Amino acid sequence: MSNSSGPTQLTARDVLRFTNARRMLGSSFAFHTGVSLQAATLGKHIFDVTGRAIDIGWLGLAEFGPIALLVLVSGSVADRFNRKHVAALALVGEMFCAIALVVYSLSKPTAVWPFFLIAVVFGVSRAFLSPATRAMYPMVAPDGGLPPIIAMSSGVWTSAMIIGPAASGFLYSVAPWVAYATTTALIFIGIIGIMRVQFAREPTPRDPGEKASLRSAMEGLYFIRRTPILLAAISLDLFAVLFGGAIALLPVIAEEQLHVGDVAYGWLRASAGIGAAAMALLLSFKPLRRNVGKALLLAVGVFGVGTIVLGVTHTYWIAFAAVLI
């Protein structure tokens, strides 16, 4: 009788011995940090230019609209074409958006529509980048190394959500174009890293000429509908996303409600990532094994209370704690 039950499960340290895993994680850290830095800077910059909170909302719509419209196409593209090339081209699009922001910010902007136009192009790039990079991790992971590399990719994203916004406050206080130039450099590093990644295994080849049907593009939606627990979890997550929309208004809250400067705003924006990192660390030592549904409902409820507190407080540290939780 064979004692073999599959590949040996690797630890995170084992996975990091593989060059391509380090390249993939390093690339992700670079471009996620750049993108989070740009997001924190752009909302602040637009509000400083126009003084209208509604423009921050229009900015979010300009970026999210292409992602929503292309959601049925972008996943199919990642399945049919070389994912590394799709990701690299999407990152090139994001880098050109950052360069455009550098150029426009140097012109001392007074009009807001160029920001929206750049956000639309950025949203198109983001729509193709996300599925391509997510699909690359199983192809990069060594045998037995998929769980740790996925966990590390989550840690990389969380770290970027802390470092990027925190850095944005310091860089924006120097000049907006400095922040956008830093984003450009970080995304460029990400492109180099992505292009140097070599896959440990290749995906099942698909014919690029094969026509994509609406049904094949919507297979994921059908699966969610047939899986009640998944549908319930995603629906609850949508409510949390609605609460989380208040984060976009932090430039308004920081200036008009808390009366703090650029650096304090950056740390306020970073506090959401700090809270996520702290909870991830806690759960890694004490994972939830029972009453997961109740814990999820409680978490969303606490998240909602934190959002309310953020909306009414005039004290910086209370606002910081509200975003943190």
Q: What are the DSSP calls for 41-98, one per residue?
A: HHHHHHHHHH--HHHHHHHHHHHHHHHHHTHHHHHHHHHHS-HHHHHHHHHHHHHHHH
Sign for the CA dihedral angle at 307, 309, 313, 316 comes to negative
The stretch 17-24 carries a mean pLDDT of 89
Give the DSSP letter of residue 218: T
Alpha-carbon radius of gyration of the chain: 21
Domains assigned to the chain: 12-149+160-200 (1.20.1250.20), 219-325 (no CATH)
Tell me what pLDDT residue 216 has.
Answer: 61
| Alpha-helix runs per DSSP H in 200-261 | 214-217, 219-226, 228-244, 250-252
Q: Examine the pLDDT at 93 and tell me if it is beyond 50.
A: yes
* pLDDT tens string 119-161: 999 999 999 998 899 888 888 888 888 888 888 888 899 999 9
Tell me what pLDDT residue 211 has.
Answer: 56
Rounded CA-CA distance 35/147 in Å is 25
How far is the CA of 270 from the CAs of 39, 238, 266, 292, in angstroms?
Answer: 12, 22, 6, 27
Rounded CA-CA distance 118/96 in Å is 9
Give the confidence band of 2 by pLDDT, cuts at 50, 70, 90: very low
* pLDDT tens string 187-225: 999 999 999 988 876 665 555 555 555 666 666 677 777
pTM: 0.86
- Would you list the DSSP string of 101-131? HHHHHHT----SHHHHHHHHHHHHHHHHHHH
The stretch 39-65 carries a mean pLDDT of 94
> For residues 166 and 278, which has the higher predicted lDDT (pLDDT)?
166
